[in-house]
Amino acid sequence: MKNRLIITISDIHGSKQYSVHEIIKKIIFAIVLILILIGVGTYFYINLLNTKLSSLKEETTHHKTELAELKKLSDSYKSKNANLTTQQKELIKLIQGTSEKLYSVNEKLIEVEEMIGMGPDLNASFQARLEEERSKATETLRKEFEEEQLSSIQKTLLFNSIPNGKPLNYKRISSKYGYRTHPTTKKQSFHPALDLTAKHGTPIYAPASGVVVYAKQKGAYGNFMLLTHSFGFQTAYGHLSRFAVKSGDYVTKGQKIAYVGSTGRSTGPHLHYEVRYLTKWLDPKKFMFLNLDNINNISDKIKNVNWKSILKQTEKLISLSKK
């Protein structure tokens, strides 16, 4: 028999002998097991990093879209400002031309006054009237410019306060607003929302600033969220996979609030999206295509909303902010 190193371990239960090559086998086994665990852990960690990277890419795409829209808005305002500046210069030229004509008339009046023996006091009165008319014309121009600016502020306030734009990047509208045959119950019923299909986990963004008043499970809705916005508007979101905010949180327009899922009574991953005004449901599709360019015609596009009262309230808010 070959010479072998034998290690004997004794305790109260007796003695055990181990050959060195058996210990080496156990060490090798332990090392292999550790390497396998490290490999599995690395695999899951890489998957987690890939998921986070995908989420960051989606957020980056969303922010780039927002930046592009803001750039368009900025260019629009610059263009309007340039047009107003041009109009102002043209009006100033018109006022100056009119002033020159009035001065010419004034000189002729002076000649007539001298011919008929009238004093120069009327000339001073004429000059005062001339300056007054010039001042009025300048003030009218200033007010017109301020009214245009006020209109832009109103539009921006509405744009951030009432639901508008798409709440997510969806593939298609699988179910429209209105009466339909329910996909699971097969019964005719009113559908107060749009069903927007998207991949499981697709981020959902707030269509306007507001407060989260409900964020938990709710019957057939599954994971359900309700946001309250300004001027009596609310938006609702059903079948969510998870929430990004909680009840009581204040959210701003464009902030991530939840993720697409298929919880509750659902046939696949999609967003059940509602727009509400006071006690009424409204067609969300009309709000999804609202933007700063067409928001002036909002009262023609969307009925059953007291837009006149809302616009008066925006004027009051803007007036208070200037004090």
Question: Which sequence spans correspond to the domains of the chain?
Answer: 6-60, 172-322
The predicted pLDDT at position 103 comes to: 62
CB-based contacts of 154, cutoff 8 Å, min separation 6: 311, 314, 315, 318
Block residue for tokens 């009581």: 248
* Three-class DSSP category at 294: coil
The predicted pLDDT at position 118 comes to: 47
The predicted pLDDT at position 62 comes to: 78
Residues of the chain with pLDDT under 50: 1, 118-123, 145-150
Of 251, 236, 142, the closest CA to residue 194 belongs to 236
Q: What is the pLDDT of residues 38-84, one digit of tens each?
A: 988 898 889 888 888 888 888 888 778 777 777 787 777 778 777 77
Answer yes or no: are the C-beta atoms of 260 and 201 closer than 8 Å: yes
The predicted pLDDT at position 179 comes to: 85
Which whole-number Å values give the CA distances from 64 to 58, 90, 166, 207, in the listed order? 10, 39, 15, 17
Q: What angle do CA 33, 35, 40 make, to 5 degrees?
A: 95
The predicted pLDDT at position 156 comes to: 84
Q: What is the pLDDT of residues 11-36, one digit of tens each?
A: 677 776 666 566 677 787 888 789 88
The predicted pLDDT at position 233 comes to: 97
The predicted pLDDT at position 7 comes to: 59
Of 87, 97, 93, the closest CA to residue 144 belongs to 87
The predicted pLDDT at position 168 comes to: 97
Element containing residue 124 per DSSP (H, E): helix 121-161
CATH number at 172-322: 2.70.70.10
DSSP-assigned beta bridge partners for residue 204: 258
The predicted pLDDT at position 145 comes to: 42
The predicted pLDDT at position 177 comes to: 92
Q: What residue type is assigned to position 305 of the chain?
A: V
